[in-house]
Amino acid sequence: EVQLLESGGGLVQPGGSLRLSCTASGFKFNNYGMYWVRQPPAKGLEWVSGIYGGGTNTFYADSVKGRFTISRDNSKNTLYLEMNSLRAEDTARYYCARNSGQNFFDSWGQGTLVTVSS
């Protein structure tokens, strides 16, 4: 069974930093691209970032480019999102999601909540 478990969320002040992790199990991690998708409270879904299975290619939404960095450690079956210069509008539940291979998401974690507030 595919399982994705996010961690690292919390309350952070504007301008601060946070590192999210997503630990995967139940599938061959390095065979799949992985993504972060976020959802502000009571709002819709927004794609944030993605990374190929080998970790060589990364992709970002314009809203986070230059502030967020996606990475992965295939030896640990773990996906990361380093978030810097955080803003109030980054407040959201951040989901880790597996790329089916065609840029849609066939498995999702439960998410981790990031709150940016002073």
Binding site for another protein (CB under 8 A): 35, 44-47, 50, 59, 61-62, 95, 100, 102-106, 108-111
CB-nearer residue toward another protein: 39 or 91: 39
92 touches 12 (CB < 8 A): no
* Nearest approach, Cβ of residue 105 and another protein (Å): 7
Single-letter amino acid, residue 69: T
Q: Which residue has the tokens 């927004």?
A: 46
Please give the Cα distance from 82 to 21 (Å, whole number): 9
CB-nearer residue toward another protein: 42 or 118: 42
Please give the Cα distance from 70 to 81 (Å, whole number): 5
CB-nearer residue toward another protein: 46 or 82: 46
- Helix or strand run (H / E) with residue 105: strand 105-108
* Nearest approach, Cβ of residue 16 and another protein (Å): 25
* Nearest approach, Cβ of residue 63 and another protein (Å): 9
